[in-house]
Amino acid sequence: MHKLLTYNDFPKEQYLYLEKLYEKGFISYPRTNYLFLSNEIFKNRKKIIEDIMLVNRYDNDFIIKICSKINLSYKSYLFSDEQDYPHLPLMPLSNDVFIFNRFTDLSNNIYSEEYDNVYKRIRDNFIAVFVDPN
């Protein structure tokens, strides 16, 4: 059964990457512990997914392997009908500042594969919500 990531799903060594990605607008607030998505996200799912695909347009593996499995009519149990949450879960945001889906070390201005890997883990986990497991 799929679950959304939280801050605690990452090793402590990656907390700095989470904070920096949040500060630059690539991901939502990382210290959230929300494990469900609001109906507002479900209502806007097409635009959210299109924005994520646009930001990741140079990542062919992502486009071919993951996005091809998206089912916009599928509604995961992670969407709550009973309440809307005041905060976003840990998810990617639409920030098209970087090129070729590569991150520069946000403190030293050098490419950092660690930022890239942390972002991709969050992105892929979020997009999996829209993939029908059947």
The domain spans of the chain are 7-130
Give the amino acid at 39.
N
Provide mean pLDDT across the span 35-61: 83
Q: What number is the average pLDDT over the span 51-66?
A: 78
Q: Are 89 and 28 in contact (CB under 8 A)?
A: yes
**Residue for token digits 């949450």?**
85
pLDDT the model gives residue 101: 43
Quick: pLDDT tens for 117-134: 898 899 999 999 998 887
CATH number of the 7-130 domain? 1.10.290.10
- Model confidence band, residue 11 (pLDDT cutoffs 50, 70, 90): very high
Return d(Cα 26, Cα 18) in angstroms, integer: 9
Residue 39 pLDDT > 90, yes or no?
Answer: no
Percent of the chain with pLDDT over 70: 82
Q: Is the pLDDT of residue 98 over 50?
A: no
Start-to-end CA span in the chain (Å): 12
